[in-house]
Structure 1
Amino acid sequence: MFVRVKSTPNSPRQSVQIVASERVGDKVIQRIIRHVGIALNDEELVHMKELAEFIKAGLETQSSPSLFRPDELARMVIDGRKKADLLTDEPLKVDLRQLREESRVVVGIHEVYGKLFDELGFDRVVGDPVRRVQAAKTIKHLVMARIANPASKRQSVIDLERDFGIKLDLNAVYRTLDYIDDESLALLQRKAWDAVTGLFAEKINVVFYDCTTLYFETVAEDDLRDKGYSKDMKFNQSQVLLALMVTKDGLPLGYRLYNGATFEGDTLKDAVAHLQRRTEVDQIIFVADSGLLSKANLDWIEASDKQYIVAARLKNQPESIKKEILDKASYLQGEQMLYKEIALPGNRRLLVNYSQKRAIKDAHDRERTLAKLQKKVKASKSPESFISNFGYRKYLKIENQQQVTIDEEKIKLAEQWDGLHGVITNSKEMPAKTAFEHYKGLWQVEESFRLTKHDLQVRPIYHWTPKRIQAHIAICFMSLVCIRHLSYRVKLQYQPLSPEIIRNELVHVQQSILIHKTSSHRYAIPSKPTLHAQKIYQVMGEKVSAIPFLLK
């Protein structure tokens, strides 16, 4: 097999295909194995070819078909559809009056995400697939269920049987979680890393890093669960701290789980050491928010001969620096921005840019806050009612510790900072534009956390032992990796679609199972696929058919 690029005459369109040479008689022909997509420019062509090479490598190393024939209804339906595609001209003679609907199953999630799950190598994270074949299948079903409808393990078992035609024993599910041991967790992280590095010809050199807290519906504590600063405002409940690393495209590179009382700034050294132990990393630029990259961390990164980009707290700078920042007359005109570079001690650079669009937004946000604040001041003059809200408190003046009024001087001072944003980096040669673009990419890790917390509902956690907690996070991480990789492929090969749209499209790829009252034959009636669904299937090299077929 090899990757082929075919150009279209008098058009910028270039088709990227995976083809194989085959001998037919005396001639050698090239058979298309997978149509990867169409590139409209050189940049798209590079990404498309990298993706094609990754898919080709997976196809070449694909394991032999399993010797175990599943007896699940969902597998019968999926296998039956593939066989039916080869027999589309064969007539099915049946008396429709003898047919009754037996069930309706969702096949889109397993047909698309299930194939991606296998391509990523997640079907092999629990060790020997022969001895643990059922455990591997169960983990895959749990990941599919979490992508389709995040819920507890108990509810996932109910959903799988009701919506997917897959019957699992709940106790067996809990026992399966114990197969996800330290060796499996290490293999999972390696598979996630390899899935990303296999996509790109260049080495990964920019890593976005952030942490979040995940709470439990309990106050119990152990080596992993503990009380600490909660980003979910669940200060009375135990929690764990999750650290996540992603690329500029939002593809997860790995994660680490820490005791809930751990300060997020203390996780960086361990996470980097963990990353280096299992990968060939040389030069990495870390991008994080100002809370994570503390002074101690910045010093350590510099001592380790690495680079960073961190948000600058402009208002906390020394007075001399703040004076330079506010001198907008000395800003330089860059590409679509005004910017300034200020030298800081220790060979660090403070890069500040000014955006009129951001200035308008800052002013608008402040006006909304002040409008709410004026109503509250009229309703209550008590200082105690404003102490806990910093957004209000920074515009207030408290006289004689009793009278609360809006401070016009503070408002004027705040106006000076409208539209300003800054980052600090230790890179001596990185252009300001590149530094700002890298920092903008931090939203990718924040989006991944949003997906993990909300779309995959990783919290609250109902498991009580550290091993089960680790297994739960691993299943959520596998789900996240599948979601992000499919989104990346769909964007590259079709058009940008949100994970929610993709999930909704695939959940509605269903089949009605009809049983004949006399012969007991079963027939599958597929739902009509939408254009989005057809394209998503095409991205994964699959076809989605609406032709009914006989289940055998």
Structure 2
Amino acid sequence: MYVRTVTSKGIQYAQLAHNVRDPKTGQPRAQVLYTFGRVDQLDLDALRRLVRSIARFLPPDEQAQLQKDLGMEWPFRYLGSLKLGGTWLLDGLWRRLGIQKTLQRLLEACHYQTPIERLLFAMVANRALAPSSKLAIEKWVAQDVYIDQLPAVEVHQLYRAMDFLLEAAEAIQREVFWTLANLFNLEVDVIFFDTTTAYFEIEGEDADGLRRWGHSADDHPKMAQVVIGLAVTRDGIPVRCWVWPGNTGDQNVVAEVKRDLNGWKLNRVVVVLDTGFNSEANRRILQGAGDHYIIGEKLRVGPQGVPAEALRRGGKYRRLPDGLEIKEVVVGGDSAARRRFVIVRNPEEAERDRQKRESILAELRQRLEALKQKQGEAHTKAACELRAHETFGRYLRQTRGARLVIDAAKVRREAALDGKFVISSSDDFLPAEDLVYGYKQLWQVERVHRDLKHTVDVRPMYHRLDDRIRSHVLLCWLALLMIRVAENETGQTWRQMRDLVAPIDVGRHATAHGEVWQVRPLTEEQKALFQALKVDRPPHYLKIVTPTRKTA
């Protein structure tokens, strides 16, 4: 098939033709398929549209070559798309929370050539949207997402940004805290604190460093780990983080936490802690500078322990609106050892404890009968295993005749603890119910710990240097900070918000006049989310890049 011209009466005509073989003579002859008309009167725009329409069926490289050969400009050419919704939303929060301004102010005296603030935002956004290694962020930024003023990164730049983050960690955490407190009118008089652990996929531990063996909260006792501490407001917003060697015990970190919080010059702080931090030394530290504590007490500390004495005290329980029963007890009178306790009983939990214990005792009686013990005989292997059993052994005692029997006194003591927990406080003015509800809010820290491990994927960590590990935790903290603010403001989970904005992308189109970056139209739900978070929506046309003209 080809285009030919013929002349008739001195006028040229353009025709679309192809050759067919004459059935009689066997010779090829031209067959006209379409006549375009006079050459001097051709509709050139119509011909261009025809060429473009036909070229759609050619491979992309041949289309480009055809365009080059013919000197034709196509209306537009699709170049690809980048994900925009998640990074745009987080960038808006990043700016609204003052993190960008804080970093820029701290960077003024450093004179970096690389965009440190943008690099830090990219790593934080990556933790919140698609957690990956620092090396993988190179591809993520260049090919997957759009980040304003950051078209590409190199991994060595990310590490330099992490170094700066660690250098400025104290100032960043302090200024972000006060910005949040003023922006959202946060109640910062009560701070919840707890620790967790994060492990490393390595064999052994560091002889002198953060990666050490210790008690694992992740059920990975054979892996080196670090201990991570988080201070959380009563609204569930993490406002500070710490990192210690993996063999650090909870009771050894309270002094540092108290010192760092005092450095923020808060008027008054009540620190809420779980039982693992409870010691006489820690309680003295927490009462320093006019501050106070609410702390959990261990129930099973022996009959001479102070909590046991508080449990033995008489008094009437009073019922709270949520069904809990509380009783306030003061031990020590007016002496220096005076302590205030609140004993809490949950009737529903007490019934569950009773049923669970009765089930255990019923099984224990059957196992004792199966032993067929005789007075004065040595224990069999089965008897030894039963006595050492983690669950059943706690209810057993051995008689003078070496027989195993159920310890009725131990059963009565356990029954007296059904559904109960005990807290103490150094504050004599907070109502008992406020102490109880304050302690129960420790679940806010537990939730942040879960998000730390399952949303921003702090673990497992592949960093080796102590500074890199600390900086990595700071990045995860910043990501959690924005996530919790977003959840508090919208009432939605981060997963719901992330999935809602995930379809928002920006398409790149090449035109004769430059590149056009067009954003997918937003749905009403997406618009409502941006409005709830007070973040500007992305424009329909993100940017138009015109080619620069070369000057002579």
Give yes or no for contact 1:147–1:456 (8 Å, CA) kept in 2. yes
Give yes or no for contact 1:192–1:481 (8 Å, CA) kept in 2. no
Structure-2 change in CA distance of 1:315 and 1:499 (3 Å): same
* CA–CA separation in structure 2 for the residues paired with 1:291 and 1:194: 29
Answer with 451-460 or 309-318: which moved more.
309-318
| Residue 128 (1) aligns with residue 69 (2) | no
Give the corresponding residue for 1:497. Answer: 492
From 287, 292, 296, the equivalent of 2:281 is: 296
Q: TM-score, normalised on structure 1?
A: 0.70
1:292 Cα deviation after fit:
1.2
* CA–CA separation in structure 2 for the residues paired with 1:375 and 1:526: 69
Structure-2 change in CA distance of 1:521 and 1:441 (3 Å): same
* CA–CA separation in structure 1 for the residues paired with 2:365 and 2:124: 50
Structure-2 change in CA distance of 1:134 and 1:370 (3 Å): farther
Letter in 2 for 1:209: F
Give the corresponding residue for 1:111. Answer: 88
Give yes or no for contact 1:244–1:254 (8 Å, CA) kept in 2. yes
Structure-2 change in CA distance of 1:108 and 1:307 (3 Å): same
Give the corresponding residue for 1:446. Answer: 446
Q: State the SS of the aligned residue for 1:178.
A: helix
* CA–CA separation in structure 2 for the residues paired with 1:399 and 1:458: 52
* CA–CA separation in structure 1 for the residues paired with 2:210 and 2:510: 55
Give yes or no for contact 2:129–2:498 (8 Å, CA) kept in 1. yes
* CA–CA separation in structure 1 for the residues paired with 2:445 and 2:294: 15
Letter in 2 for 1:358: E
| Residue 232 (1) aligns with residue 218 (2) | yes
* CA–CA separation in structure 2 for the residues paired with 1:486 and 1:358: 34
1:288 Cα deviation after fit:
0.6
Q: How many residues align?
A: 446
Structure-2 change in CA distance of 1:261 and 1:419 (3 Å): closer
Q: State the SS of the aligned residue for 1:513.
A: strand
Letter in 2 for 1:484: R
Give yes or no for contact 1:529–1:544 (8 Å, CA) kept in 2. no
Answer with 218-227 or 392-401: which moved more.
392-401
1:385 Cα deviation after fit:
8.7
1:179 Cα deviation after fit:
2.6
* CA–CA separation in structure 2 for the residues paired with 1:375 and 1:142: 59
Give the corresponding residue for 2:480. Answer: 480
* CA–CA separation in structure 2 for the residues paired with 1:196 and 1:374: 58
| Residue 338 (1) aligns with residue 325 (2) | yes
Give yes or no for contact 2:386–2:393 (8 Å, CA) kept in 1. no
Give the corresponding residue for 1:217. Answer: 201
Q: State the SS of the aligned residue for 1:155.
A: helix
Give yes or no for contact 1:526–1:546 (8 Å, CA) kept in 2. no
From 161, 164, 169, the equivalent of 1:185 is: 169
Give the corresponding residue for 2:243. Answer: 257
Structure-2 change in CA distance of 1:411 and 1:418 (3 Å): same
Percent same amino acid at aligned positions?
22
Q: State the SS of the aligned residue for 1:232.
A: coil
Q: Residues 504-544 of structure 1: CA distance to partner in whole angstroms, max 9, x if unpaired? A: 223x242252536887754535165362x332200233454
1:264 Cα deviation after fit:
1.6
1:311 Cα deviation after fit:
1.4
Answer with 425-434 or 314-323: which moved more.
314-323
Give yes or no for contact 2:88–2:538 (8 Å, CA) kept in 1. no
* CA–CA separation in structure 1 for the residues paired with 2:382 and 2:408: 17
Give yes or no for contact 1:516–1:522 (8 Å, CA) kept in 2. yes
Letter in 2 for 1:451: D
Answer with 395-404 or 430-439: which moved more.
395-404
Letter in 1 for 2:325: L
* CA–CA separation in structure 2 for the residues paired with 1:527 and 1:402: 81
CA RMSD of aligned residues (A): 3.8
**Structure 2 unaligned spans of 5+:** 1-73, 372-380, 546-552
Give the corresponding residue for 2:301. Answer: 316
Letter in 1 for 2:324: M
**Structure 2 matches for 1:239-278, cutoff 5 A?**
239-277=225-263
Give yes or no for contact 1:178–1:468 (8 Å, CA) kept in 2. yes
* CA–CA separation in structure 2 for the residues paired with 1:474 and 1:144: 13
1:207 Cα deviation after fit:
0.9
* CA–CA separation in structure 1 for the residues paired with 2:118 and 2:366: 59
Q: Residues 64-109 of structure 1: CA distance to partner in whole angstroms, max 9, x if unpaired? A: xxxxxxxxxxxxxxxxxxxxxxxxxxxxxxxxx9776543322122
Q: Residues 134-168 of structure 1: CA distance to partner in whole angstroms, max 9, x if unpaired? A: 12211111111110012221233333334314532
* CA–CA separation in structure 1 for the residues paired with 2:181 and 2:514: 50
From 522, 526, 533, the equivalent of 1:540 is: 533
| Residue 529 (1) aligns with residue 523 (2) | yes
Give yes or no for contact 1:178–1:467 (8 Å, CA) kept in 2. yes
Give the corresponding residue for 1:29. Answer: none
* CA–CA separation in structure 1 for the residues paired with 2:455 and 2:157: 26
Give the corresponding residue for 1:139. Answer: 120
Letter in 2 for 1:190: R
**Structure 1 unaligned spans of 5+:** 1-96, 491-495
* CA–CA separation in structure 2 for the residues paired with 1:136 and 1:499: 24
